[in-house]
C-alpha cells in the first residue's frame, strides 16, 4: 500500500474511532407532559420505548418549567441552583440562571469535545435578555416568544426570526425541521453530538396542528378516583378549591383532546429525529432520551392546569432511554429524577462536571433492573393561591419526600406555620387521604420529617442520596 494511502486510511480509522468512542446524545424535552399521555405516541413507543428502557417512577425535583430546566442544565436541586420560580419576581427565571450558565451541562460537554445544539423553548424569561446567547452552545435556535403559532426564534446568527400562522409555522414542526436539518448537516462531523430538542408542547395554549385537530374529538377525559376529589378537607387550606362545575370539566375535556393532538405532533418529531439519525449514520451510536420538564394536573384534587405541587400527576414525568448497550423493551421501577439524567449524560460523555452534582448516573440501572438505588428523593415547589405564579412572588413553599410507600410534604405558609401531608401509597395510590394527623401514622411521620427537613431539603451532592430503608407503616385498615 502506498505510504500516502496508508496514512489516509490510518487517519480515517483514527477519526472513525474517535467518533465512535463518544456517543451522540439527543434529549427530547417536552413541556408539561404527564405520565400516561405517551400511550397515543406510536413513534415514541416503537422507536424509543420499544428499543430501550422505560422508567415507571421518574420524577423532577421541582415540577415547574424554569426550575426544572435549570436543574437539568446545572445538575442540582432548585434549592442549590437558587432558581425557585418561573420569573425573577418569583425568585427564578432566566435572569437568575444567566449568572450560572457558564458552568452548565452544555459547557462541560463542549469541553469534552461535543458539538452542542439547543433547539426550541429554553428557560422562562429568556425573551427579556435577547439577543444574549448563552455560552457553550455551538448552535442556537431558541424561542424568544413561545406559542404554538406566531412565535419567534433567535437563530444562530443572532437574528430574530418571526413565524406566522400558516400550517407550516406550527411550532413543533418548525422545531422538528430544524433538528432534522442540524442532524443532517453534522453527519460528516467527527465530533460527537449533544442536542436538546425542546418543543413547546403540550403546554397551554392547547392548539394542535391542523392535521390532528379532529383526531381526538371523541377522546374521553380520564377521571381517576382523585378527579374533582369530593372531600379535600384533609388538604392544606390553600389546596381546597371549590369543586369543578360541568362548564369547567367541559373546558378541561376540550383541552385534553387538544393536548392529545399536540403530542401527536411531538410524536411526529420523534419519528423525524430517529429517521434523520439513521440517515446520517448516527443512530446506533446515539443515546436518545425522551422526558418532560414536569407533569400536569388535569382535574385531580380539583386542580386543572396545576404544576409546582408534589402530587403524582405533577411531579412524575415520562422517561424513556434508548442507545448503545441499553436493553430493548425493558422497564425499571427505581425512583429516579432529572438530576440523575444530568449525571448520566456527563457519564456517557466522559465529561467533567465543574460543579457538584446532586444526582447519580443511571448507567447501572440501565444495565440491571435489580441495581440497588435510592429509597427516597426530594421534591419541592410553591404555589400562589388565587394568582398566576408566573406573575408574582410564589408562597406556600413545600419540601417533600418521595419513597416507595410514602409521600410526605412539609408545607410552609407565609405566616410561619406548618401544614403536613402524608400519603400511604400502599393503600392510597390516588393520594385521597392525608394521614398526617392519624395516630396510627405518628411514628411514620416522626421518622420521615427529619429525613426531609434536616437531610434532603438542605442536601448537596452525596447528601442528596438517601438509600436507608424507609420507615414501615401500619397494615391496611379494615373498611
Q: Is 88 inside a domain boundary? A: yes
**164: nearest Cα among 177, 148, 178, 179:** 148
Round to whole Å and give the CA distance between 276 and 194.
Answer: 15
In 3D, which of 451, 466, 403 has the Cα closest to residue 57? 403
Last residue of a domain, one of 371, 399, 429: 371
Q: Given 311, 343, 371, which residue is the final one in a domain?
A: 371
In tens, the pLDDT along 391-412 reads 344 567 899 999 999 999 998 7
* 366 lies in the same domain as 299: yes
Domain span at residue 65 reads 22-371
Residues 428 and 307 in one domain: no
Higher per-residue pLDDT: 418 or 27: 27
Q: Tell me, yes or no, if the pTM score tops 0.85.
A: yes
Q: What is the dihedral of CA 434, 452, 227, 200, to 10 degrees?
A: 170
On the 0-12 / 13-18 / 19+ scale of CB atoms within 10 A, 196 is buried
Nearest alpha-carbon partner for 345 in 141, 104, 158: 104
What does the pLDDT look like over 63-104, one tens digit per residue?
Answer: 999 999 999 999 999 999 999 988 877 788 999 999 999 999
At 24-57, the pLDDT tens digits run 999 999 999 999 999 999 999 999 999 999 999 9
- What's the confidence (pLDDT) of residue 477? 57
- Domain membership flag for residue 14: no
Q: Give how far Cα 373 sits from Cα of 9, 239, 326, 368, 463, Å.
A: 45, 32, 18, 11, 14
Same domain, 226 and 291: yes
- How far out from the chain centre does Cα 250 lie? 28
Task: Give the rounded percent of residues in the chain with a pLDDT score beyond 90.
Answer: 84
Same domain, 45 and 184: yes
Tell me, yes or no, whether 327 and 450 share the same domain.
no
The answer to the question of residue 115 being in a domain is: yes
In a domain, 470, yes or no: no
**Can you give the three-state secondary structure of 359-392, one letter per residue?**
CCCCHHHHHCCCCCCCCEEEEEEEECCCCCCCCC
Is a pLDDT exceeding 80 seen at residue 160? yes
Bridge partners (DSSP) listed for residue 145 = 152
Amino acid at each position: 500500500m502506498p505510504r500516502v494511502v496508508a496514512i489516509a486510511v490510518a487517519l480515517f480509522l483514527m477519526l472513525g474511532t474517535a467518533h465512535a468512542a463518544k456517543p451522540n446524545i439527543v434529549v427530547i424535552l417536552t413541556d408539561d407532559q404527564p405520565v400516561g399521555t405517551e400511550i397515543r405516541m406510536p413513534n415514541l413507543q416503537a422507536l424509543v420505548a420499544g428499543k430501550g428502557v422505560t422508567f415507571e417512577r421518574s420524577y423532577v425535583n421541582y415540577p415547574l418549567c424554569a426550575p426544572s430546566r435549570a436543574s437539568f442544565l446545572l445538575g442540582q436541586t432548585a434549592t442549590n441552583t437558587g432558581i425557585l420560580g418561573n420569573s425573577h419576581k418569583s425568585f427564578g427565571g432566566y435572569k437568575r440562571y444567566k449568572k450560572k450558565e457558564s458552568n452548565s451541562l452544555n459547557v462541560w460537554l463542549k469541553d469534552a469535545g461535543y458539538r452542542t445544539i439547543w433547539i426550541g423553548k429554553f428557560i422562562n424569561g429568556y425573551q427579556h435578555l435577547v439577543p444574549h446567547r448563552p455560552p457553550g452552545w455551538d448552535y442556537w435556535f431558541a424561542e424568544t416568544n413561545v406559542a404554538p403559532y406566531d412565535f419567534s426564534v433567535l437563530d444562530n446568527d443572532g437574528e430574530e426570526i418571526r413565524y406566522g400562522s400558516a400550517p407550516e409555522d406550527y411550532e413543533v414542526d418548525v422545531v422538528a425541521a430544524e433538528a432534522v436539518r442540524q442532524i443532517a448537516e453534522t453527519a460528516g462531523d467527527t465530533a460527537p453530538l449533544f442536542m436538546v430538542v425542546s418543543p413547546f408542547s403540550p403546554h397551554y395554549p392547547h392548539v394542535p396542528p391542523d392535521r390532528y385537530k379532529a383526531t381526538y374529538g371523541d377522546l374521553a377525559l380520564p377521571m381517576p378516583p382523585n378527579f374533582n376529589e369530593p372531600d379535600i378537607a384533609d388538604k392544606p387550606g390553600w389546596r381546597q378549591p371549590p369543586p369543578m362545575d360541568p362548564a369547567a370539566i367541559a373546558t378541561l375535556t376540550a383541552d385534553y383532546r387538544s393536548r392529545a393532538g399536540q403530542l401527536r405532533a411531538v410524536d411526529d418529531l420523534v419519528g423525524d429525529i430517529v429517521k434523520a439519525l439513521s440517515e446520517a449514520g448516527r443512530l446506533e451510536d446515539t443515546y436518545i432520551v425522551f422526558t418532560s420538564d414536569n407533569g400536569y394536573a388535569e382535574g385531580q384534587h380539583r386542580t386543572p392546569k396545576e404544576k409546582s405541587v408534589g402530587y403524582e400527576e405533577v411531579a412524575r414525568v415520562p422517561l424513556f432511554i434508548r442507545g448503545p448497550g441499553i436493553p430493548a423493551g425493558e422497564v425499571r421501577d427505581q425512583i429516579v429524577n432529572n438530576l440523575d439524567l444530568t449525571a448520566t449524560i456527563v457519564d456517557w460523555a466522559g465529561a467533567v462536571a465543574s460543579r457538584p452534582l446532586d444526582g447519580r448516573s443511571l448507567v447501572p440501572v440501565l444495565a440491571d433492573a435489580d441495581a440497588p438505588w435510592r429509597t427516597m428523593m426530594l421534591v419541592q415547589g410553591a404555589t400562589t393561591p388565587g394568582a398566576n405564579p408566573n406573575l408574582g412572588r410564589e408562597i406556600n413553599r413545600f419540601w417533600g419526600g418521595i419513597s416507595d410507600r410514602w409521600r410526605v410534604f412539609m408545607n410552609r405558609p407565609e405566616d410561619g406555620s406548618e401544614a403536613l401531608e402524608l400519603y400511604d401509597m400502599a393503600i392510597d395510590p390516588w393520594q385521597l387521604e392525608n394521614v398526617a394527623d392519624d395516630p396510627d401514622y405518628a411514628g411514620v411521620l416522626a421518622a420521615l420529617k427529619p429525613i426531609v427537613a434536616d437531610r434532603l431539603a438542605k442536601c448537596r451532592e452525596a447528601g442528596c442520596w438517601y438509600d436507608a430503608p424507609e420507615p414501615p407503616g401500619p397494615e391496611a385498615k379494615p373498611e
